[in-house]
Structure 1
Amino acid sequence: MEAQGNRQYEQACDAALGWIARLRSDDVSATDRQSFALWLGENASHRTAMDQMLDMWDDLGVLQVLPEQAPAELPREAANASRWYTGAAAIAASIMLALFLYPQLGTDPVSTEYRTAVGERLSIELPDNSTVVLNTDSSISVTYTDEQRHIDLRRGEAWFQVNPNKERPFHVDAGETRVTAVGTAFNVYLQQDATAITVTEGVVRVSEIVETGSHKPASKILSVNQQLRTSSDGWALSPPTDFSARLAWRQGELVADEMLLVDLVAELERYHNTNYLIADPSIAGLSISGVLQLDEPEAILKALEVSLGVQADTLESGTVRLLKAEQ
């Protein structure tokens, strides 16, 4: 078993030398680099061999005083140790070169995904100290390179606080829309039929993502307190408005200002795995105002009962039925 372990160690070192030769060649490919990374991580013995070589690096200074060949009068163990250290020096030097070269060879950018469940909010600090806050049932993919910072909003809603870096633009793609910011704060809500971009700080550029060169992409600059809705029907820019109430979800709040019951129900279904059914047409046009806690649906239903005279019944299916309270 010990002999087998020694052979594995020697094979790992030999393989490392082979990788060095390949990575230093003029025709090294991206596939080679990826394969090298896989080799480093595919077996613990590979990294163990490297670690052992690196640990010995300081000890290899004794080679400066060792003779090129072990004297005949040295015990066999000492002679073997001399030859072993000499070979180890070459292997360790090659491994050190591999570790030095590898970060410079470049690899394909790695994407990281973040997502939230229904009713969940998540604050994320990105590698450049920018911040993302994900709303309920949302998903993003984050890819950073030396040239740009790229976020793909795949579902839901997210608010971004971007750390300034003019040399490394910050892009957020949502459907067919791209939002570019250097240092600012903004919200992106990807809906089924439209995307809403709201600027809470600074300036952003919104542009179309066009697959072909036959159509010049539309582009618009947005400043603080502006909102742009993009859809297949065109772009609609709202007048400057204080959108802090609209973005109160970041604090777990829903700020209702004469909000129709039908719209309130739609918001509640965003944040809870519950179906709400307005069973009485006479209450459909009622509206409510106030600050509601999104994490407390029972309290919201109680508020409807007190302020609007709406009764909430939970059916066996779990659906909440809303109707006019009995007098």
Structure 2
Amino acid sequence: MTERTLSEAEYDTITDAAAHWCMRLHADDCTDTERLAFKQWHDADPLHAFEYEAMLEIWGAAEHLPRVEPMPAAPAHRPRSRWSRMAVAATVLALGLPLAAFTGWNMGWLANGYQRFEAGTSVRHITLEDGSQVELNLGSELVFANYKNERRVTLKKGEAFFDVSHDSGHPFVVRAGQGQVRVTGTRFNVWMYQDQVRVTLLEGSVWVTSHQASNAGGLQLSPGMQASYKPGDFQPQVRDVAFDDSSLAWRSGKLVLDNLALSEALPLINRYLERPVMLADNTTGTLRIGGIYNLNEVKNLVPSLPKVLPVYLTQNSDGNLVLNAIARAPRN
């Protein structure tokens, strides 16, 4: 449940560390101990990962800059391209962090500010630096970074409803799973569980791509449309939804299951559980469930399922609860 905006000193410290690790990990003499230390630093804060990815972009861009000849004493077997990139990374450090940050901002590689938000056991309303309004569902987390050429949100987990401030020259991009949503100003919802993502549009228009690295332009949604994707999808799957679609009931603290098959309902339920509930087989997944539940009481739903459905609960070797359909007696 934290909100965090970096000071200039904190930003410079992270930029410095990202440049250092970028150089060390590309060096031939980088040790396993250093790689472990990098992983610990990288995973300690999403902002570290953001800045390191930005530094990698600078490193890659150095391949296209004029070659910098190595010093005479340097080992002759190292490729010139490696030395070019290392020279640029070293220059980033040598010229000083303010200049590096200024250059990175102008090139669109580095952000000039970050915000990180988390929601705990209640829905949270937040305002991003650009004035956009966001509602975060329970247990959700996102990071906002302001780049020169775009406003970028990474939904780390959970669900968020966005009311984006219009800025046609500064697009708003939400990265979720392996895809992204691109807009200039609109109202939409992004739901993510494990590797599944759903984007529901209320107002305006958005472009949804199912893979960030894809050259495909994605699909444009109009109000009342929903796009879903998972890893391996070349294009998102699109369907029409009602404006009172139950998938947005979380904004009122509710989970609505509208006569859904268990195979469809479990991802919605598992989003609010510490350990996901599994299905024993496809037959169990075809059983249907309905009802309206308070988000904070979803954890009590699963133990009660045997009272309303022909199922019983077991536990697998990983400690997850498993739903099993009760076999029907054959008709005579």
Give TM class, smaller chain: 0.5 to 0.7
CA distance in 2, matches of 1:238, 1:210: 18
User: How far does the alpha carbon of each residue in 1:164-207 deviate from its partner, in whole angstroms, 9 at most, with x for none?
Assistant: 22233212122442322222111223444443222121111234
Q: Which residue, out of 108, 111, 114, partners 2:117?
A: 114
Aligned residue pairs: how many? 224
User: How far does the alpha carbon of each residue in 1:113-152 deviate from its partner, in whole angstroms, 9 at most, with x for none?
Assistant: 22345x6543221123211222344332201245432212
The residue aligned with 1:133 is: 135
SS state at 2:156 partner: strand
Q: Report the TM-score when normalising by structure 2.
A: 0.53
SS state at 2:271 partner: helix
Distance 1:112 1:288, change over 3 A: same
Q: Structure 1 residues 180-189 or 261-270, which shifts more?
A: 261-270
CA distance in 1, matches of 2:196, 2:299: 31
Q: Structure 1 residues 189-198 or 175-184, which shifts more?
A: 189-198
If you compute each CA radius of gyration, which structure gives the higher value, 1 or 2? 1
The residue aligned with 1:292 is: 293
CA distance in 1, matches of 2:226, 2:249: 16
Q: Which residue, out of 23, 34, 50, partners 2:98?
A: 34
CA distance in 2, matches of 1:219, 1:276: 33
Say whether 1:233 aligns with 2:233. yes
How far 1:306 sits from its partner (Å)?
Answer: 5.2
The residue aligned with 1:217 is: 216
Measured on the aligned residues, the alpha-carbon RMSD in Å equals 4.1
Which letter does structure 2 place at the counterpart of 1:238? V
CA distance in 1, matches of 2:228, 2:143: 22
CA distance in 1, matches of 2:239, 2:205: 15
CA distance in 2, matches of 1:108, 1:236: 29
Distance 1:202 1:282, change over 3 A: closer
CA distance in 2, matches of 1:277, 1:138: 22
SS state at 1:183 partner: coil
SS state at 2:200 partner: strand
SS state at 2:228 partner: strand
CA distance in 2, matches of 1:246, 1:121: 15
C-alpha contact 1:279 1:321 (8 A) present in aligned 2 = yes
How far 1:162 sits from its partner (Å)?
Answer: 0.8
- Unaligned runs of 5+ residues in structure 1 are 1-28, 38-106
Say whether 1:172 aligns with 2:174. yes
Q: Report the TM-score when normalising by structure 1.
A: 0.54
How far 1:222 sits from its partner (Å)?
Answer: 0.9
C-alpha contact 2:218 2:236 (8 A) present in aligned 1 = no
